[in-house]
Amino acid sequence: MRWSSWLFLIALLSCTLAGCAAEYERPALEDMAMIGVMGFDYVDDTQMKVLVSIPVPAKGKETTQIYATQASMTSEAMLALAPKVERTITLSQLRVILFSEELARKSGIGKVVLDLYRNPIVGENVFIAIVKGKVEDVIRGKYKNKPEINTYLNDLLRPRVETAFSSFSTIHDFVFMMTSNIGDPNLPYLVKQDGSIEIAQVALLRKDKMIGLYSQREGKLVQCLLGRKRLPRVKFGFGGPDAAEENADMEEIIFDFVWSKSKVRSNGNTKKPVIHIDLELRGVVVGYDGKKNLDKRPQITKLVKQMEKRIQSETKTMLKNYQKWGVDPAGLEESLRQKYHGKWTREKGLALYKKADLNIKVKLDILGYGTIK
Amino acid sequence: MDRGKIHSLNPIHVIGLIINSMVGVNLLSLSHFASKMGYNLWMAPILLGIIVTLTVFPMIALCSRYPGDTLFGIHEKLLGKWLGSCLNVLVIVYAILNTSTANEGYVRLLQTSMLNNQTITMPLLGLTLVMMYITNGGIKLVARFCLLALFFTGWMLVLLHYGFQKGGLSHIFPLFNTDLASVLDALNQSSGSMLGYEILLIYYPFIIEKNRARRHVLIGVWTVVFFYVLVLLTSVAYFSEWQVANLVYPILNLFKAVELSFLERVENLGIGLWVFLILSTSTAYLWMARTGMEQLAGKRRLWHLLLPSAISYFMIRGPLSVEAQRYLYDQLTVYFAYGLILWPIFLLMLHALRRGRGEKVS
């Protein structure tokens, strides 16, 4: 044999030596306890109660371990939890972070999120949500006919069209919204009722502190303004017993937005700012209850006009209210920032935003109305 | 093998060498370094590219007057044996510093992201051994390795579109919203990312098509600028200004934005592949150090390779404190580089005085 072959053989054999090495630094997969959900409850201004839920891999039956401790930082909580768990705990499979409303309102969630953002073990697709009441009740709750809590919450918060009325905030998204200086972050607001969890509303935050809630319907418009292409279905109702003479017919429409586009531009004037909002929406009528014959062009044009007017007025009322309260979940300040030369700060942005005039145009296309006229 | 054959680098090799000796550890933190410019930071590589282009001209002009000599040889011919050797030692120190910069930056990243419950001894040792092995094959092997590394890592640019889609490109407005002081600061901070093309001064004699070398070098440089601008535009779209200023490894977070159905945690794959970019930079510099040692000693020995590698290894793993290392890599290396890049202008003037303008010395 040539010497090179001997060298190769020796190299190959020395690889097997790895089996003799003491292995204590990276435990095998079965020895890891992978935290799926972390929850934070308010105790006082510095302390919080940290709950973690860990799925236990077992054949046939899914079980979950839940541990709790008190700490002021996430990493400190991990330190305190480590001896309690029989395996090595890791954050590498973390999927959901829950905060109680009290914590979000009183001490803010920025510290916890930034602590996790620092940790390179934590992945990017970790969703953040705010819970009504105590997080402990949600994590320890029993849910009939649902998968175990880790899978359940992850599935619930995963981006879907049906729940697209709130921003699906991963850690990165939240840190982005918190530090971007062009708007107020929003997060899904979970409510536990009747043995299940529902994304009931959208929580509005200023920096990292929760300041209020808005409804799903408003959330859909806000998402449209933020530039989401695919929006959830919306119900429109026209007419009714106390409506004006010309549209006295009762009509109900469930509209599915197939495609939407929003253009938010400002005029760049700091004395008298104007924000132009152009909404372009296309969609199909999913459900219709009314007297119109949707096969006839003039009738459908009339319907389009009605809906455009409705969306326009709803958007206007909503944004006017936000301006009055000085909050900006729709990120309209971005359009002002784009035309602003000099150092941009949130205070300047809010001042401009509050006095801005809004000019909203809506263009709607009905692409289809189902199989009956 | 091309042992003994001097003219061995064809145009593709030159372009590959330029690209991959420039792209290295500094790209990992590029948007962080340039963050003083705010959302205008994507202009930094273009400005740097212009500066680099301007400094390539005197370099090529100097080298074309000495077509058979490396910078080390030029020093000895132009400044005399004694003074030339002293300068050559400085250039060798510069090369070793750059080798260490690349290796240290990468090993530190490994330590923070992938191996955060281990010390860096083993990864660093592995990196150094592979680096020595490649360098031992000469400049042509280094150039070939650069091309290989380009194909192994270039496809990762495609992954940028994940970050791009999630963000909004509208962040780049308003354009030119910055002042001169922050531009200069950003340029100074991020200039490390453009270093690597100055090795040209050493491998110029090995290039086959010397009269078209400048063109190939500039193609390489502007390809790198294009890559950098793409990465920075994605950073602008994906991050807020606070994030750009505070994240030490923005590339790591950009990798995290990638969502593939069959693969999670793409950042581990990306950081693992990054070793090719690191090796292609550090081998080029190590080869530079070795060539300098050969010139000093006048003969070719293996310890000319072993000594710089050992120094580079013990600079990182040895008794130097972290603060001292940071000073060496972030400050001293860059100021050294400024000097080396401007040095050919001085040498050209000296040449004009001693030998007359445009005279060739073989």
Q: Which residues pair with A274 in a beta bridge?
A: A357
Beta strand pairing status for A251-266 and A274-289? antiparallel
Interchain CB distance below 8 Å, A175 and B256: no
User: Looking at A135-149, A187-201, B157-171, which range is the least confident one?
Assistant: B157-171
Q: How far is B110 from chain A (nearest CA, A)?
A: 11
Examine residue B250 and say whether the peptide bond preceding it is cis (omega within 30 degrees of 0).
Answer: no
Q: Rounded to an integer, what distance in angstroms lies between the CA atom of residue A189 and that of residue A185?
A: 13
CATH of A216-373, one of 3.30.300.210, 3.30.420.40, 3.60.20.10, 3.40.718.10: 3.30.300.210
Q: Name, in order, each residue with C-beta under 8 angstroms of A327's C-beta and a sequence gap of 6 or more.
A: A184, A204, A206, A211, A212
Interchain CB distance below 8 Å, B241 and A181: yes
Q: How far is B63 from chain A (nearest CA, A)?
A: 41
Q: Compare A190 and B4 and report the one with higher pLDDT.
A: A190
Q: What is the pLDDT of residue A145?
A: 85
pLDDT digits (tens, 9 = 90+) for A339-369: 888 888 888 888 888 888 889 999 988 888 8
Q: Mutual orientation of helices B266-297 and B139-154 as an angle, nearest 10°?
A: 170
Identify whether the C-beta of residue B44 lies closer than 8 Å to the C-beta of residue B243: no
pLDDT digits (tens, 9 = 90+) for A252-308: 888 888 888 888 888 888 888 899 999 998 988 888 888 778 778 888 888 888 888
Averaged pLDDT for residues B67-92:
91
Residues of chain B contacting A180 with CB distance shorter than 8 Å: 240-242
Contact with chain A for residue B179, Cβ under 8 A: no
Q: What is the largest CA-CA distance in chain A?
A: 102
Best probe of the A interface among B256, B258, B259, by most A CBs < 10 A, is: B256
pLDDT band at B2 (very low <50, low <70, confident <90, very high): very low
Q: For chain A, give the number of residues.
A: 373
- Mean predicted lDDT score pLDDT of chain A: 85
Contact with chain A for residue B112, Cβ under 8 A: yes
Q: Rounded to an integer, what distance in angstroms lies between the CA atom of residue B286 and that of residue B279?
A: 10
pLDDT digits (tens, 9 = 90+) for A319-328: 999 888 888 8
Q: Compare A258 and A61 and report the one with higher pLDDT.
A: A258
Which runs of consecutive H residues, i.e. helices, occur in B191-332? 200-203, 213-238, 241-246, 250-256, 266-297, 303-317, 322-326
Q: Using an 8 Å CB-CB cutoff, list residues of chain A that contact chain B.
A: 25-26, 92, 120-121, 123-125, 172-173, 175-176, 179-181, 227, 334, 337-342
Domain edges within chain A: 28-214, 216-373
Q: What is the pLDDT of residue A16?
A: 65
Identify whether the C-beta of residue A51 lies closer than 8 Å to the C-beta of residue A38: yes
Q: Mutual orientation of helices B121-136 and B81-113 as an angle, nearest 10°?
A: 140
Phi-psi region at B125: left, alpha or beta (left = phi > 0; alpha = psi -120 to 50): alpha
Q: What is the rounded radius of gyration, in angstroms, for the C-alpha atoms of chain A?
A: 26
The domain total for chain B is 1
Interchain CB distance below 8 Å, A120 and B116: yes
Q: Rounded to an integer, what distance in angstroms lies between the CA atom of residue A174 and that of residue A162?
A: 21
Q: Which of B199, B190, B161 has the alpha carbon at shortest distance from B20?
A: B199
Best probe of the B interface among A92, A127, A172, A267, by most B CBs < 10 A, is: A172
- Partner residue opposite A176 with nearest CB, options B116, B174, B243: B243
> B188 by DSSP, 3-state: which?
helix
Q: What is the pLDDT of residue A240?
A: 63
Residues of chain B contacting A120 with CB distance shorter than 8 Å: 112-114, 116, 252
Sheet strands side by side (includes A274-289): A234-238, A251-266, A274-289, A357-368
Q: What is the pLDDT of residue A25?
A: 54
Identify whether the C-beta of residue A148 lies closer than 8 Å to the C-beta of residue A62: yes
Query: Within a domain: residue B4?
Result: no
Q: What is the pLDDT of residue B47?
A: 94
- Look-up of token digits 């029989």: A86
Q: Rounded to an integer, what distance in angstroms lies between the CA atom of residue A100 and that of residue A95?
A: 17
Exposed/middle/buried for residue A111 (C-beta within 10 Å: 0-12, 13-18, 19+): middle
Interchain CB distance below 8 Å, A180 and B173: no
Query: E-strand spans in A16-123?
Result: 32-34, 37-42, 48-56, 63-71, 88-90, 96-100
Q: How many CB atoms lie within 10 A of CB A209?
A: 14
- Closest-CA residue of A relative to B113 is A120
pLDDT digits (tens, 9 = 90+) for A211-267: 989 898 888 888 888 888 888 888 888 876 555 555 557 788 888 888 888 888 888
- Look-up of token digits 């839940």: A66
- Partner residue opposite A179 with nearest CB, options B177, B240, B252: B240
Q: Is the pLDDT of residue A87 over 80?
A: yes
Q: What is the pLDDT of residue A159?
A: 86
Residue % of chain B over a pLDDT of 70: 97
The alpha carbon torsion through B251, B265, B256, B153 (nearest 10 deg) reads 40
Q: Is the pLDDT of residue B258 over 90?
A: no
Residue A66 phi/psi, 5-degree rounding, is: -125, 130
Q: Compare A275 and A59 and report the one with higher pLDDT.
A: A275
Residues of chain B contacting A175 with CB distance shorter than 8 Å: 240, 243
Quote ipTM for the complex. 0.82
- Residue A216 tokens read as 């799903």
Q: What is the largest CA-CA distance in chain B?
A: 66
pLDDT digits (tens, 9 = 90+) for A329-339: 888 888 888 88
Q: Which range scores top for mean pLDDT: A228-237, B9-18, B104-113?
A: B9-18
Identify whether the C-beta of residue B178 lies closer than 8 Å to the C-beta of residue B41: no
Q: Is the pLDDT of residue A171 over 50?
A: yes
pLDDT band at B277 (very low <50, low <70, confident <90, very high): very high
pLDDT digits (tens, 9 = 90+) for B45-77: 999 999 999 999 999 999 999 888 899 999 998
Residue A327 phi/psi, 5-degree rounding, is: -120, 155
Q: What is the pLDDT of residue B322?
A: 85
Residue % of chain B over a pLDDT of 90: 50
Q: Is the pLDDT of residue B1 over 50?
A: no
Q: What's the CATH number where B248 sits?
A: 1.20.1740.10
Averaged pLDDT for residues B72-100:
92
Q: Rounded to an integer, what distance in angstroms lies between the CA atom of residue A237 and that of residue A219?
A: 18
Query: Within a domain: residue B319?
Result: yes
- Partner residue opposite B118 with nearest CB, options A25, A120, A338: A25
pLDDT band at B358 (very low <50, low <70, confident <90, very high): low
Q: Is the pLDDT of residue B159 over 60?
A: yes
- Mean predicted lDDT score pLDDT of chain B: 89
Q: Is the pLDDT of residue B7 over 80?
A: no
- Closest-CA residue of B relative to A26 is B117
Best probe of the A interface among B239, B254, B259, B263, by most A CBs < 10 A, is: B239
Q: Rounded to an integer, what distance in angstroms lies between the CA atom of residue B227 and that of residue B233?
A: 10
Residues of chain B contacting A176 with CB distance shorter than 8 Å: 238-240, 243
> A63 by DSSP, 3-state: which?
strand
Give the range of the structural domain holding residue B100, as residue numbers without chain letter: 11-348
Q: Name, in order, each residue with C-beta under 8 angstroms of A97's C-beta and a sequence gap of 6 or more.
A: A37, A38, A39, A40, A112, A113, A116, A126, A127, A128, A129, A171
Query: Within a domain: residue B360?
Result: no
Q: What is the pLDDT of residue A244?
A: 56
Q: What is the DSSP letter of B234?
A: H
pLDDT digits (tens, 9 = 90+) for B179-205: 888 899 999 988 989 999 999 999 999
Q: What is the pLDDT of residue B312?
A: 92
Q: Rounded to an integer, what distance in angstroms lies between the CA atom of residue A79 and that of residue A71?
A: 9
User: Looking at A18-27, A154-163, B218-227, B239-248, which range is the least confident one?
Assistant: A18-27
What are the CA-CA distances from residue A201 to residues A103, A130, A190, A197 (Å)? Answer: 18, 10, 7, 12
| A to B CB pairs, distance under 8 Å | 52
Contact with chain A for residue B261, Cβ under 8 A: no
